Structure 1
Amino acid sequence: MNSFGPLQFQLVLLRRMADHQPDLVEDALRQLGVSRADMREANRRWQAMLRSPRGRGTLSLYRSVLGEPESMARRRIGDLECDAYLWPVPLRPGLRFEVLAGPGGAVWNEWLVRAPGAAEPELRTEEDLHPWCCTVDEVARAFPPVRPMEGTAPTRSRLEFTLPDGRTRVAEFTWGLLQRLM
């Protein structure tokens, strides 16, 4: 694993998810044909690239690791405009890694989203919410009203939402993918 490309980047995503879903991560590592040591090494290298004084900006780093994005679109969020870049995630064909970048390429957000045209999960009840089945946006659309909450670490986010029976729950996400309900 001398070069750093899409496979190693997927290992970086999995490394943070292993905190909540170690069994699912083990299955993914087997599917990719790599070890936990490979995952740790990929994460170590990624962190070094992010912190390197000679390093590129984050958007440039994503391009160098993942190649040219599959698509790019201008998006308006409130009063702000940004560029949304999407890259495929081979391990999860129904998802894309999305980077939202503002003026000058400053990265505002980076997470997994549903691929354009891919079928979304049907989310109607608490039982439909299981690890890795859905993204932040999908939970927000399925169970309004929602309240975004600060995550417990970088790349993590939480979302408070209301179930159809009126109960409130909190979903925790890593890189935008559901990990657990709290």
Structure 2
Amino acid sequence: MTPSGSASSAAPFGPREFQLVLLRRMGDFQPGLVEEARRELDASITEMREANRRWQAMVRAPRGPGELSRYRRVLGEPESRARRTVGDLECEVLRWPVPLWPDLRFEVLAAPGGPAWNAWLVRAPGAPGPELRTAADLHPWGCTVDEVARAFPPARPLEGSAPTRWRLAFTLPDGAPRTAEFTWGLLQRLV
């Protein structure tokens, strides 16, 4: 921290700062949960804003590292790597632990040798997921996009309001249509 109370641009940007970036976007939907998580990270609102500013500068830098290099630089080497086929596309799957959510992993899907085309939070392998049967089971930060889609088929993806946001339309067992909103793959709210 500098004497003014803001993080220096020269300060390291690692997993803690990346978690602040995730929280910054989630604050639009769940400010109370973000406040608790920010306190757990012992970070100020100023630090969260500065982390987001620095992340956006890295993302937009014309000569900055590629997406996968950026994630590796910030998060270190992935905890796991695998190959997955999605439709006709074979992709590389990289996952990193996220201390704020120990049962989740930050997952990046990328074309082999190419750019990342999806990045979000998913359930960690072997971690028990929530039992989702009714709207009452859909708690903010309690489940991921793929968990909701599997629990209430057929779910239909909808365009999100920002690049890190997803929406999913589905029907509950009682016949009620619902839409869930996610940030970085984590449920924020039902609408």
* TM-score (normalizing by structure 1): 0.98
1:163 is aligned with what amino acid?
Answer: L
Aligned twin of 1:137: 146
1:17 is aligned with what amino acid?
Answer: M
> Does 1:181 find its partner at 2:190?
yes
Bigger Cα displacement from structure 2, 52-61 vs 93-102: 52-61
1:147 is aligned with what amino acid?
Answer: R
Q: How far is the alpha carbon of 1:130 from its aligned partner? A: 1.2
Q: Equivalents in 1 of 2:184, 2:144: separation in Å?
A: 9
80, 104, 108: which is aligned to 2:89?
A: 80
Count of equivalent residues: 182
Aligned twin of 2:73: 64
> Does 1:112 find its partner at 2:121?
yes
Q: Equivalents in 2 of 1:114, 1:20: separation in Å?
A: 21
1:146 is aligned with what amino acid?
Answer: A
Q: Equivalents in 2 of 1:170, 1:126: separation in Å?
A: 11
Q: How does 1:1-182 map to 2 (within 5 A)?
A: 1=7, 2-182=11-191
SS of the aligned residue for 1:104 comes to coil
Q: Deviations over 1:37-76 (max 9, x none)?
A: 1100000000011111220011110000000000000000
Runs of at least 4 residues off by over 3 Å: none
1:20 is aligned with what amino acid?
Answer: F
Q: Equivalents in 2 of 1:130, 1:8: separation in Å?
A: 25
Q: How far is the alpha carbon of 1:104 from its aligned partner? A: 2.2
2:79 is aligned with what amino acid?
Answer: E
Q: Identity over aligned residues, as a percent?
A: 73
C-alpha RMSD over aligned residues = 0.7
Q: Equivalents in 1 of 2:75, 2:104: separation in Å?
A: 15
SS of the aligned residue for 1:103 comes to coil
